[in-house]
Amino acid sequence: MSESTRRDFLVKAAQGTALAATGGLVWWFLLQNQARATPFAIRPPGAGTEAEFNALCIKCGLCLPACPYGTLKLAAAGESIPIGTPYFLPRDVPCYMCPDIPCKVACPTGALDPELTDIHQASMGLAVIDIESCLSWQGLRCEVCHRDCPVTNKAITVVHHPRKTSKHAVFVPLVHSEHCTGCGICEKVCPTDVPAIRIVQADLVQGKMGAHYRLGWTIDTPITQEFVPAQEAGPVRPGVDTTGAGVDYLND
């Protein structure tokens, strides 16, 4: 082997080694990115928890063309979402809540729950209002989120709210988590420069009461029955217990 041939061979071998090393670093970076992926994505209707969804989603992308509004996109490398999984940005294009849920129908693995038949039962996220930026909470009449919400007068209602800084009350939007689907239409239509109402994953903002707490007024038992004064319950006979326990307390 001539000197020039040997030199070329060594150069190409070094280049191949460098390329392999670089490819390995890229792959290592992608794996690290996946390990650090945060569960902030708003998923299509029917997706379960992040762990459940990522276990079933095969990143096929079939849900994207099924959506007639172009709502969904696939996470790219470098995003804080697992690569290739579908999500959407409500401020760009929200979910317009198709009654037939075509993205769910297109999913071949059940990552989008096939048992979901009513789009109003979807739970893509939860609307959260920043009252320091919301126009209504600042005393202006807006209420756009309430008017455009597809779950009319259930997911978002307008309530009368007193103000400490003024003798005039204001009307403000209030989100009801049990009815909010997380479609993001409210975020899309919010007129502030940065939306004052955002869709987030419910687990990031909702607390949970301990099982040892008891809300007596929500439990229908003899102990929690509303007390009825004796004069409203009819005439009282001496020596008869009016609590309903059937105890002759005068003869104890």
For the domain made up of 38-121, the CATH class stated in words is: alpha beta
Across 36-149, where does the E strand assignment appear?
A: 73-74, 86-87, 126-129
pLDDT in tens, 174-233: 999 999 999 999 999 999 999 999 999 988 888 888 888 877 767 666 655 555 555 555
The structure tokens listed for 243 are: 């609590």
pLDDT value of position 7: 59
The domains of the chain are located at 38-121, 125-206
**What b/e sequence results for 8-44 when a residue is b if at least 16 CB atoms lie within 10 Å of its CB, and e otherwise?**
eeeeeeeeeeeeeeeeeeeeeeeeebeeebebebbbb
pLDDT in tens, 101-129: 999 999 999 999 999 999 999 999 999 99
Is this model's pTM higher than 0.75 or not? no
**How many CA atoms lie within 13 Å of 161's alpha carbon, on the beta-carbon side?**
17
pLDDT value of position 209: 86
> Do the two domains 38-121 and 125-206 of this chain adopt the same fold?
yes
CATH dotted code for 125-206 = 3.30.70.20
